[in-house]
Amino acid sequence: MAKQIGHYTSLQWSTGGAYYPVAYIRSIDGPAVSGDEVEATTMDTTGNYREYIPSLIDPGELSCEIVWDPSVNTTDGGDSHIRLTDMQSSREIVDWKVVLPTTTNTVSFSGWVKDFQPSFIVDDLITANLTVRATSSITWPTTA
């Protein structure tokens, strides 16, 4: 894959059919996947170093900043920003994907809207920070 900038990257969600874009995204971070560990040091461990073994993987969270407009309608997804707050209230688990620009590569997972926090600043755009908690393994892009 050639080097590219994030312009035209999209975040989309689905309840089992078509995917709907989240409108007016300014930035996307994550998902931040991390692996846990278990200390496995015993009395007969060789040397002066603790031993660790890998444990469960935490699929993490995805966060993004949007320019918030409750009246925004996407051409194929309806009330995009209202739907996000509805999903947070219902704790509905849906499918998510980050679509990379100029490719068909995606990062996909299931998750629920954990946080939705609007920000109102006197001389700036009204924005909101959205956090999606992943509930499944993450499918990363692969090379062809």
Question: Where do the domains of the chain lie, and which CATH numbers do they carry?
Answer: 10-134 (4.10.410.40)
> Quick check: helix, strand or coil at residue 81?
helix
Chain segment 49-80, per-residue pLDDT in tens: 999 999 999 999 999 999 998 777 655 555 67
Bridge partners (DSSP) listed for residue 113: 132
Is a pLDDT exceeding 90 seen at residue 39?
A: yes
Structure pTM?
0.86
Chain segment 88-110, per-residue pLDDT in tens: 999 999 999 999 987 778 999 99
Is a pLDDT exceeding 70 seen at residue 143?
A: no
**CA–CA gap between residue 14 and residue 42 (Å, rounded):** 48
